[in-house]
Amino acid sequence: MITLGCVLLLCGLARVMATYPIWWSLAVGQQYSSLGTQPILCGSIPGLVPKQLRFCRNYVEIMPSVAEGVKIGIQECQHQFRGRRWNCTTINDSLAIFGPVLDKATRESAFVHAIASAGVAFAVTRSCAEGSATICGCDTRHKGPPGEGWKWGGCSEDVEFGSMVSREFADARENRPDARSAMNRQNNEAGRTSLNDNMFLKCKCHGLSGSCEVKTCWWSQPDFRVIGDYMKDKYDSASEMAVEKHRESRGWVETLRPKYNYFKPPADGDLVYYETSPNFCDPNPETGSFGTRDRSCNLTSHGIDGCDLLCCGRGHNTRTEKRREKCHCIFHWCCYVSCQECMRVYDVHTCK
Amino acid sequence: MAGAIIENMSTKKLVIFGVILLLFQAFSFMVGGLIAPGPTSVVHYLATKCVDTAKSHQSTKWFMPWGPNQCEKIRTFDEAMAKKIEANNIVFAVHIPLPNKEMSPWFQFILVILQFDIAFKMNNQIEDGALATVDVGLAYRDDSLSEWTEMAHSLEQRKLNCNFTTIKTYENEGRYYECDLLPFMEVGSVAHKYYLLNIRLPVHERKKVNVGIGEIKDIRLVGIHQNGGFTKVWFAMKTFLTPSILIIMIWYWRRITLMTRPPVLLEKVIFALGISMTFINIPVEWFSVGFNWTWMLLFGDIRQGIFYSMLLSFWIIFCGEHLMDQTERNRFSIYWKQVGPIVFGSFCLFIFDMCERGVQLTNPFYSIWASDVGTELAMAFIIVAGICACLYFLFLCFMVFQVFRNISGKRTSLPAMSKARRLHYEGLIFRFKFLMLVTLFCAAMTVIFFIISQVNEGHWHWGDYTVQVNSAFFTGIYGMWNLYVFAIMFLYAPSHKRYGDNQSSDPGASSGEEIQLTTTITHVDGPTEVYKMMGKDSQE
């Protein structure tokens, strides 16, 4: 009986782990802090499914950018959620870097998946421009010896390559027929779509006497903050779905359909979820909530970062703090700031 | 006295000729749309931040962003801050092209655009009218192991035109400014395989160099070059068109010299149009594949400019020579009022081009738009050229209007003529109008395709086929003007057929009028009957 329980528990754990994108730990792991300077060993990345492992081995030179992408995704998540009850906290000593929050198919999970997949596409595109990856964009559309395609008609935009990497790598594990996989697929795609939607077109005229007789245009990637803002809007307007089970030839297949018929069904760029979020007020190891105790809050704000809402009505403590700060700084564009030191007094409010 | 071919050719032959031209036209569009790739390619470059560890800045050292012998890099400037690296020791390195690729002479030119990623910071904002001073060096090499050879080195200033679209609060720190694109470099020939750019942003506090330019996070470059495939198709087209125009030109001039009378102005202008078309057609660009001729870009501009001004002058003179109320014709000097703006406008553009692309021959980083005085000067040239263009079009429209008014006036006197002669004149008027319409059609097509290329993405997908609209536009329009010049030279060449030979139905009336025509207007003997008819009208 005990062994059976153990097996069940293990199975349960394994099931959870299988859905959890453990490879995201690339972004926080100490061993990858020197990204770009030393090659990544694909075998050492935890939680890769065979397809991802294969991809990693084939494109090992872009793996640092993949890791970098997850990292900027997480940073952006933490920026966007900085004043909220759930603030995108990562746990350092676990492979499941967000803790159990992502086990449930909540809005938060949806956001994290989307921003991570957008981050990967973004970072890969960026590294292509930097020249740190040699395989970017230049597919062999034009027949002939290698290099001829580039000489004949140039390469496709790096953005397409970035999205392709994100699609191949991040979505590699989302091929199960269950509802969660469908949700992750949709949300990952939403992240990439948001990246594409926010590209902006720039043009340069260079014809006769610099006239627009000849004009060349290209798509530029926005600052990742813009993507973050956009995704945050998508988070706020995410669609709640209901799970439907179908019997198909390969077995039971779960699909998602909009829960409320009077809302518009989600488009490609929309986030979807099908479980309600916990309230994140109190610590709960099961839901992955850390609670808002000791979080600092904004006394003057009436929004979610205000002390009333953030502290879930428990009230807050106030203490005054003296901080030594740099002030009257003179900046130079890089690397050198001359400052004075000032003493400032702050009122710090923390939740009870 | 022989008329022009356009008047004596039978309608059937004329239709066949038109259909053949249309086929060639369709072909020239298809060459661009289906064979050629897009006209230009864009490559994005993100500058690698290298650290110059040497104490003294030796200018001979080049920093490679990747590959063997790559420089010591930093990822962010926070790292530089921690390591106490000075701004003057940071070198932004960009290798053109990206790894595993090489440049080719077929790319014709490289144009590089500079973009700064500047993050907003409350206490380090971009000052108004901030100037970024960049110390930039360009080097080349032809195999991936040899030493870099310096090509150009310059200290350039670029005006930062940035605005921050959100509210300037601490909350929004870290967002980027939206900055205008800065012209950075233009090289008129791509003779080498690899190019390397090393950019420094030297800081000199007392001289206020690079102070108040905000927190630059990254330098992005956008490299634009012509696609090799497009160049090849373009050259092939030019090589094919040159003999066609040349042959018809020689044929045309031979016909003119065979005549007893000296050539009239209109014939000379048509010949000049042919010469300028040949001049633009001659594929001297083939040499750019073998030789490092950086002036090819400028030369191409000049050739194009000459053709455009010739074409515009041709229209004016064509209309003017068909005008009836002018007693004096066949002299170039009476057109100075109309041709003057063309010459002056082209001259302004030429000076402007010399200031920009001419100076770029010695300093590829030069841009007339970088300095305030230069910008004003450039704008002045362009505005003057624009005014000239407006003046020209007013003149042209006025003349076309006059021609059509006079033609319709002439029509009222047609019933008084004999039937055969009337029919003939009506045919002439119709053909003259037809040619005017063709001109209008060509101009309209050019404008329409220009607009399409401005708003369009560049290629359309039809199933598996990708149609390069912009390339089709370039080859199609180029082919169209060639066919236009070809058609004009062909149709306005003197005909062998004797006019009036087959009009035996009313010999008396016909010969009577003929005598009148030949006797009264011998001094305005012209190439076409319409021309002469109008001349006669003005005589009366």
> Hey, is the C-beta of B535 within 8 angstroms of any chain A C-beta?
no
DSSP 8-state symbol, A274? -
* Residue of A149, A144, A116, A120 lying closest to A133 (CA atoms): A120
* Residue at A19 is within a domain: no
Tens digits of residue pLDDT in B94-124: 999 888 888 999 999 999 999 999 999 888 8
pTM of the prediction? 0.85
Q: Could you give phi then psi for residue B467, rounded to 5 degrees?
A: -100, 120
Say which of B106, B211, B224 has its CB closest to residue A216.
B224
**Contact pairs from chain A to chain B, CB under 8 Å:** 152
Q: What pLDDT score was predicted for residue A215?
A: 85
Tally of residues, chain A: 352
Neighbours of B523 (CB within 10 A): 9
- Angstrom distance (rounded) from CA B70 to CA A311: 52
Of A152, A209, A329, the CB nearest to B352: A209
Q: How far is A227 from chain B (nearest CA, A)?
A: 11
Chain B neighbors of A36, CB-CB under 8 A: 75
In a domain? residue A32 = no
Q: How far apart are CA B248 and CA B483, in angstroms?
A: 11
Check whether residue A128 and residue A213 sit in a common domain: yes
Cβ proximity of B224 and B41 under 8 Å? yes
Residue B462 has pLDDT above 80, yes or no: no
Name residues 258-317 of chain B within 8 A of A (Cβ): 301, 304-305, 308
Tally helices (H) and strands (E) across chain B.
14, 16
Full residue range of the structural domain in which residue A300 is found: 292-352
The pLDDT-based confidence of B523 (bands split at 50, 70, 90) is very low
- Cite the DSSP H helix spans in B259-371: 265-281, 286-290, 296-321, 336-353, 359-360
Q: Which domains does chain B carry?
A: 2-39+229-539 (1.20.1070), 40-226 (no CATH)
Question: Which tokens go with A306?
Answer: 């205000």
Measure CB to CB from residue B224 to each of A151, A204, A335 and give the nearest one: A204
What is the reported pLDDT for A228? Answer: 94
Chain B residues touching residue A152 (CB < 8 angstroms): 37, 227-229
How large is the C-alpha radius of gyration of chain B?
A: 30
Mean pLDDT, rounded, for A228-253:
89
Residues A199 and A280 reside in one and the same domain:
yes
A319 and A217, same structural domain?
no
Residue A71 lies inside a defined structural domain of this protein: yes
Nearest C-alpha in B relative to A220:
B44
Contact A153 B42 (CB under 8 A): no
Among B419, B406, B400, residue whose Cα is nearest residue B505: B419
> Are residues A217 and B458, on separate chains, in Cβ contact within 8 Å?
yes
pLDDT of residue A15: 45
- Mean pLDDT rounded to a whole number for chain A: 82
pLDDT at B519: 29
- Looking at the structure, do residues A208 and A327 belong to the same domain, yes or no? no
A158 vs B contacts (CB less than 8 Å)? 44
Of A128, A154, A334, the CB nearest to B216: A334
Of B37, B84, B453, the CB nearest to A153: B37
Interface check for B438 against chain A (CB to CB < 8 A): the answer is: no
Is B538 near chain A, with CB under 8 Å?
A: no
Helix (H, G, I), strand (E, B) or coil at B223: strand
pLDDT > 70 fraction of chain B, expressed in percent and rounded: 86
Q: Which residues of A are less than 8 Å from B213 in CB distance? A: 333
- Residues B249/B278, Cβ–Cβ less than 8 Å: yes
Average pLDDT value for residue range B467-491: 90
- Is the pLDDT at A2 greater than 50, yes or no? no
- Measure A352 CA to nearest chain B CA, in Å: 25
Cβ A220 vs Cβ A200: under 8 Å: yes
**Mutate: best of B72, B98, B100, partner A, most A CBs <10 A:** B98
Tokens of residue B527, six digits: 């190439």
Give A145's pLDDT tier (boundaries 50, 70, 90).
Answer: low
pLDDT category of residue B506 using cuts at 50, 70 and 90: very low
- The number of beta carbons lying within 10 Å of the beta carbon of residue A84 is 17
Q: What does the alpha-carbon distance between residue B471 and residue B430 come to, in Å, rounded to a whole number?
A: 35
**Residue A181 domain flag:** yes
| pLDDT value, residue A236 | 92
Average pLDDT over residues B370-391: 88
Set of chain B residues whose Cβ sits within 8 Å of the Cβ of A133: 99
Q: Does residue A143 carry a pLDDT above 70? A: no
What residues in B contact A154, CB-CB < 8 Å?
Answer: 37-38, 40-43, 225, 227
Confidence grade of residue B303 (pLDDT, cut at 50, 70, 90): very high
Q: CB–CB of B124 and A208 under 8 A?
A: no
Burial status of residue B455 (CB atoms within 10 A of its CB: 0-12, 13-18, 19 or more): exposed
**pLDDT, position B329:** 66
HSE-CB of B413 using CA atoms within 13 angstroms: 9
Give dist(CA A335, CA B80) in Å, integer: 6
The dihedral of CA B18, B19, B23, B24: what is its sign?
negative
- pLDDT value of position A235: 93
CA B527 to CA B501: how far, in whole Å?
A: 18
Note whether B305 contacts A208, CB cutoff 8 Å: yes
Whether B101 sits inside 8 A of A138 (CB atoms) is yes
Query: B residues 78-97 near A, CB within 8 Å?
Result: 80-81, 84-87, 90, 95, 97
Distant-in-sequence, close-in-space partners of B90: CB < 8 Å, separation ≥ 6 = A334, A335, B49, B50, B51, B52, B74, B80, B200, B201
Question: A260 and A304 share a domain?
Answer: no
Average pLDDT of chain B is 83
User: Is B210 close to A152, i.e. CB distance below 8 A?
Assistant: no
pLDDT computed for residue A314 by the predictor: 86
Residue matched to tokens 């300037």: B168
Is A332 in contact with B211 (Cβ distance < 8 A)?
yes
Contact between B46 and A154 using a beta-carbon 8 Å cutoff: no
The chain A residue lying nearest B474, using CA atoms, is A214
Q: Which of A247, A274, A291 is the endpoint of a domain?
A: A291
Q: Are B357 and B186 in contact (CB under 8 A)?
A: yes
CATH number of the domain to which A349 belongs:
3.30.2460.20
For residue B283, which amino acid is it?
P
In this model, does residue B540 exceed pLDDT 50? no
Structure token digits, residue B195: 């190019």
State the distance between the two ends of chain A, measured CA to CA, in whole angstroms. Answer: 44
Please give the Cα distance from A282 to A297 (Å, whole number): 16
Domain count along chain A: 2
**B65 interaction partners in chain A (CB closer than 8 Å):** 130-131
Last residue of a domain, one of A271, A291, A311: A291
For chain A, the farthest-separated pair of C-alpha atoms sits apart, in whole angstroms, at: 86
| Residue B461 near residue B25, CB atoms below 8 Å | no
Q: Do A154 and B77 touch (CB under 8 A)?
A: no
Same domain, A246 and A326: no
Residue A36 lies in a domain: no
3-state helix, strand, coil in chain B (%, to 5): 55, 20, 30
- pLDDT, tens digit, for every residue of B396-439? 888 888 888 888 877 787 777 777 777 767 766 776 777 788 88
CB-CB under 8 Å, A152 with B48: no
The verdict on residue A283 lying in a domain is yes
Are residues A273 and A206 both part of a single domain? yes
Residue B326 backbone dihedrals phi, psi, to 5 degrees: -95, 125
Encoded tokens for B314: 């041709």
Mean pLDDT lowest among A38-42, A226-230, B99-103, B488-492 = A38-42
Say if A86 falls within a structural domain: yes
Mean pLDDT of the B523-530 span = 52
The answer to whether B93 and B170 are in contact (CB under 8 A) is no
Chain A hits for B227, Cβ within 8 Å: 152-154
Same domain, A182 and A321: no
> Which residue, of A242, A265, A291, is where some domain finishes?
A291
Q: Same domain for A211 and A250?
A: yes
DSSP per-residue codes, A60-112: GGGHHHHHHHHHHHHHHHHHHTTTSSS-----TT-SSTTGGGGGS--HHHHHH
How does residue B331 score in pLDDT terms, banded at 50, 70 and 90? confident
Question: What pLDDT score does B296 carry?
Answer: 87
Reported as a pLDDT band with limits 50, 70 and 90, residue B177 is: very high
- In this predicted model, what pLDDT tens digit does every residue of A100-142 receive, in sequence order? 888 888 999 999 999 999 999 999 999 888 888 777 766 544 4
Q: Do residues A97 and A24 lie in contact, with contact meaning Cβ atoms separated by under 8 Å?
A: yes
pLDDT band for B194, please (50, 70, 90 cuts).
Answer: very high
- Whole-number pLDDT of residue B532: 60
Judged by DSSP in three states, B301 sits in: helix
A264 is a domain residue: yes
Residues A108, A193 within the same domain:
yes
Burial track B248-277 (b if 16+ CB lie within 10 A, e otherwise): bbeebbebbeeeeeebbbbbbbbbebbbbb
- Give pLDDT, residue B135: 92
Q: What is the pLDDT of residue B440?
A: 86
Do A128 and A189 fall into the same domain? yes
If asked whether residues A311 and A233 sit together in one domain, one would say: no
List the single residue in B with minimal CA-CA distance to A337. B81
Tokens of B406: 């006079």
Q: What pLDDT is stored for residue B509 in this prediction?
A: 38
B71, B73, B91, B101, best to mutate vs chain A, most A CBs in 10 Å: B101
Per-residue pLDDT of A52-107, as tens digits, reads: 888 888 888 888 888 889 999 999 999 999 888 888 888 877 778 888 888 888 99
Distance from CA of A13 to the nearest CA of B (A): 38
Cα(B45)–Cα(B93) distance, integer angstroms:
10
The token pair at B306 is 């000459």
Mutate which of B35, B42, B179 to test chain A, going by most A C-beta atoms within 10 A? B42
Average pLDDT over residues A145-171: 81
